Amino acid sequence: MTMERRFQRDLNAVDKVFDFINEFVTSFKVDPSVAFPINVAVEELFVNMVLYNAESPEDISIAFEKEEGKVIIILRDFDSDPFDMTEYKAADVQTLIEERKVGGLGLRLVKNMMDEIYYEYKDRKTRIKLIKNLDA
């Protein structure tokens, strides 16, 4: 079973995204402890799509599926430029601290909070699939 919804390319839509995650977590009886990392990962990727692909007229799609022992999250951005976040190497934390920078935190959180991340890009469409394992 899948829940899918489309959201306006607007930072203020983040609140609606949180509401949608809450609906998913409640109706699929997902352990509340994974709601926090799902909120963070989805917010980070959604906000990146809003900020770095601001020109696209298309809405952004977010979908959730629950399978045995895991949650699958799919974000799709249409009419987008390629950016493979799985290949992106942010400055390491030590450099960030030494140089007093603030970049790369969001993608670091996504990578550390999710168990698997897959990136696909075809015909100007971006598809990011996240998997969060559920404790048995």
Partner 1 sequence: MLTIDDNKTGVIRLSGRLSAVEAAQADTVFDQIETTCTIDFKELDYISSAGLRVLLKTQWRLMETGHGLTFVNMEPSIKNVFQLAGIDEVFDGEWEDQK
Residue 12 interacts with partner 1 (CB under 8 A)? Answer: yes
Least distance from partner 1 to the Cβ atom of residue 68, Å:
25
Burial 31-66 (b: 16+ CB within 10 A, else e): eeebbebbbbbbbbbbebbbeebeebeebbbbbbbb
Least distance from partner 1 to the Cβ atom of residue 109, Å:
6
Least distance from partner 1 to the Cβ atom of residue 90, Å:
10
Q: Given the rule CB under 8 A, which of 43-51, 61-69, 79-87, 125-133 is the region that contacts partner 1? A: 43-51
Distances (CA, A) of 115 to 28, 37, 118: 19, 11, 10
Residues 100-129 that bind partner 1 (CB under 8 A): 100, 102, 105-106, 108-109, 112-113
Q: Which is nearer to partner 1, 108 or 127 (CB)?
A: 108
Q: How far is CA 8 from the centre of its chain?
A: 15
Q: Which value, in Å, is the radius of gyration of the alpha carbons in the chain?
A: 15
What is the maximal distance between C-alpha atoms in the chain? 47
- Chain contacts with partner 1 (rule: CB under 8 A): 11-12, 14-15, 18, 36, 39-40, 43-44, 47, 93, 96-97, 100, 102, 105-106, 108-109, 112-113
